């Protein structure tokens, strides 16, 4: 009986003697978020495991406009996994349904917004220390033109973020953004960069190439509509990049202010492909015969796209998309020149490339500055294309002939 009465006392003494690791705080748990435009620095305190995780708290609050798009969903997953509270604006109930798979432990906060309403934009970002703008439109509709989404909306979000005192702003453009491009989409992407930098001079701009992934409109479109990629006889050269690599790069930029603030990153794939080579890859992965679709003349394809885009209310191929099928990705000539000497691990802009600069003339950065190496499309294509196989060969294995080494973890300042 005496020992039973003394048990609580003994447990209390043991608890006092046992070190409470969770209650300690270290210097590296405190981050001072300096605002480049002045103002009081914001202290950010990290909680939880040092390696992060959904049960930890990174101290950041981030708003991701365009979170329901192809890239946005992967980016939200990347930064939320680090314990970051993410505000995910949505336009309507259809987009809100996509947000259900993102919610976890109260870290995902959905809010309704309108790209033309600055008050709603302010409500979405007023508590955030960083804002991502992933909104974009690669086809025009009756309500939104390229200018409305890629330029005006981007500039408005950046302007509201600057007025609200947001410390960091990230804008996603395109690798081929150019004021002289034959594509209206590429011209609007360049104008959007200009509008963002005018409103937020320290903004970080990312220029990814065409992305592939589970919900892409590249490999999946080639498997379903190969005739679109027979344009230009399939000779158009592109640098496809994995959407997870782009999302990872954007996540690193958030925690690397010295590297990314007021910088422009070109995020292209590690190897040059033509539409013909990708069509052959799709045929090999799906175990279907190569496409025998004819090559449609450019004028005929643009006329058909114009008529169908006006006659049907849902998105179809448009004339500007046809134009983009004839434009090579920027940097392919450098990749081809370097391939004669040694196969590049990624597109490096330091190899005599003086043509591509940032919107303000700054030097272009790439994967090496983020301590990353992008994956090749051959390493992942089977995961996206297996569903197009017949039942008789669905489970047949695929031998790549190469061993992919594990990636190392590094911290970028």
pLDDT for the residue 68: 87
Q: Which residue has the higher pLDDT, 409 or 274?
A: 274
Phi, psi (5° rounding) for residue 312? -105, 145
How much of the chain is helix, strand and coil, in % rounded to 5? 40, 15, 45
Question: Does the pLDDT at position 395 exceed 70?
Answer: yes
Tell me which DSSP letter residue 57 carries: B
pLDDT for the residue 17: 47
Structure tokens at 4: 């039973």
Question: Does the pLDDT at position 51 exceed 90?
Answer: no
Q: Which residues of 216-241 are buried (b: 16+ CB within 10 A; e: fewer)?
A: bbbbbebbeebebbbbbebebbbbbb
Closest of 3, 365, 40 to residue 205, by C-alpha: 365
Neighbouring residues of 139: CB distance < 8 A, sequence distance ≥ 6: 309, 315, 318, 320, 321
Q: Which residue has the higher pLDDT, 5 or 277?
A: 277
β-pair partners for 365: 265
d(CA 123, CA 158): 14
β-pair partners for 237: 274
Q: Which of the four pLDDT bands, split at 50, 70 and 90, describes residue 45? A: low
Lowest-pLDDT range of 174-188, 235-249, 315-329, 348-362: 348-362
d(CA 243, CA 214): 9
pLDDT for the residue 344: 47
Residue range 397-412, pLDDT digits in tens: 776 555 555 565 567 8
What mean pLDDT is predicted for residues 311-333?
Answer: 89
Q: Please say whether the dihedral angle defined by the alpha carbons of residues 251, 252, 255 and 256, taken in this order, is positive or negative.
A: negative
Question: Does the pLDDT at position 298 exceed 60?
Answer: yes
Task: Give percent of the chain with pLDDT exceeding 70.
Answer: 74
Q: What is the pTM of this model?
A: 0.83
Question: Does the pLDDT at position 375 exceed 90?
Answer: yes
Closest of 219, 221, 189 to residue 207, by C-alpha: 189
What mean pLDDT is predicted for residues 330-347?
Answer: 63
Lowest-pLDDT range of 10-19, 44-53, 159-168: 10-19
Structure tokens at 296: 């449609």
Say if residues 43 and 112 touch (Cβ distance below 8 Å): no
Report how far Cα 230 is from the mean position of its chain's Cα atoms. 27
d(CA 211, CA 112): 27
Question: Does the pLDDT at position 346 exceed 60?
Answer: no
User: Residues 277, 283, 286, CA angle at the centre, nearest 5°?
Assistant: 140
Residue range 122-181, pLDDT digits in tens: 999 999 999 999 998 888 888 889 999 999 999 999 999 999 999 999 999 999 999 999
What mean pLDDT is predicted for residues 237-266?
Answer: 95
d(CA 32, CA 349): 32
Structure tokens at 48: 């939880």
pLDDT for the residue 315: 78
pLDDT for the residue 83: 82
Phi, psi (5° rounding) for residue 299? -65, -40
pLDDT for the residue 179: 94
Q: Which of the four pLDDT bands, split at 50, 70 and 90, describes residue 383? A: very high
pLDDT for the residue 21: 40
Question: Does the pLDDT at position 354 exceed 80?
Answer: no
Alpha-carbon distances, residue 113 vs 117, 123, 127 (angstroms) = 8, 9, 15
Q: What is the mean pLDDT of the chain?
A: 82
pLDDT for the residue 106: 60
Highest mean pLDDT among 30-39, 367-376, 386-395: 367-376
What mean pLDDT is predicted for residues 370-387?
Answer: 93
What mean pLDDT is predicted for residues 114-129?
Answer: 94
Strand 264-267 relative to strand 364-365: parallel, antiparallel, unpaired? parallel
Question: Does the pLDDT at position 352 exceed 50?
Answer: no
pLDDT for the residue 15: 43
Question: Does the pLDDT at position 9 exceed 60?
Answer: no
Question: Does the pLDDT at position 20 exceed 70?
Answer: no
Structure tokens at 143: 């309500």
Task: Give percent of the chain with pLDDT exceeding 90.
Answer: 56
What mean pLDDT is predicted for residues 59-64?
Answer: 89
Question: Does the pLDDT at position 227 exceed 60?
Answer: yes
Structure tokens at 159: 């302007």
pLDDT for the residue 347: 47
């Amino acid at each position: 009986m005496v020992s039973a009465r003394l048990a609580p006392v003994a447990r209390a003494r043991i608890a006092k003697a046992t070190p409470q690791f969770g209650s300690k705080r270290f210097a590296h748990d405190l981050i001072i978020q300096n605002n480049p435009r002045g103002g009081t620095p914001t202290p950010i305190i990290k909680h939880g495991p040092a390696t992060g995780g959904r049960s930890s708290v990174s101290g950041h609050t981030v708003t991701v406009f365009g979170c329901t798009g192809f890239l946005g969903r992967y980016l939200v997953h990347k930064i939320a996994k680090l314990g970051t509270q993410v505000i995910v604006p949505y336009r309507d109930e259809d987009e809100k349904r996509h947000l259900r798979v993102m919610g976890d432990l109260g870290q995902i906060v959905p809010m309704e917004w309108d790209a033309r309403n600055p008050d709603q934009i302010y409500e979405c970002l007023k508590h955030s220390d960083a804002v991502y703008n992933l909104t974009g439109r690669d086809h025009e509709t009756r309500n939104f033109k390229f200018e409305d989404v890629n330029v005006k909306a981007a500039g408005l979000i950046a302007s509201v973020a600057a007025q609200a005192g947001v410390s960091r702003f990230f804008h996603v453009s395109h690798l081929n953004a150019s004021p002289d491009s034959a594509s209206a989409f590429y011209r609007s992407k360049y104008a959007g960069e200009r509008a963002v930098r005018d409103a937020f001079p320290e903004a970080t701009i990312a220029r990814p190439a065409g992305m592939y992934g589970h919900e892409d409109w590249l490999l999946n479109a080639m498997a379903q509509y190969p005739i679109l990629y027979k344009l230009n006889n399939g000779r158009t050269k592109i640098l496809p990049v994995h959407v997870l690599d782009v999302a990872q790069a954007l996540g690193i930029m958030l925690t690397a202010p010295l590297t990314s603030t007021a910088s422009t990153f070109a995020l292209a794939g590690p190897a040059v492909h033509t539409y013909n080579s990708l069509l052959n890859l799709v045929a090999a992965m799906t175990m279907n015969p190569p496409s025998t679709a004819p090559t449609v003349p450019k004028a005929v394809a643009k006329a058909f796209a114009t008529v169908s885009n006006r006659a049907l209310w849902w998105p179809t191929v448009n004339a500007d998309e046809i134009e983009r099928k004839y434009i090579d990705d920027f940097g392919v000539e450098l990749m081809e020149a370097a391939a004669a000497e040694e196969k590049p691990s990624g597109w490096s802009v330091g190899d005599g490339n003086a043509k591509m600069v940032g919107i303000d003339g700054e030097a272009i950065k790439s994967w090496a500055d983020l301590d990353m190496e992008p994956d090749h499309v051959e390493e992942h294509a089977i995961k996206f294309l297996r569903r197009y196989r017949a039942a008789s060969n669905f489970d047949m294995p695929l031998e790549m002939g190469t061993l992919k080494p594990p990636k190392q973890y590094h911290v970028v300042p």
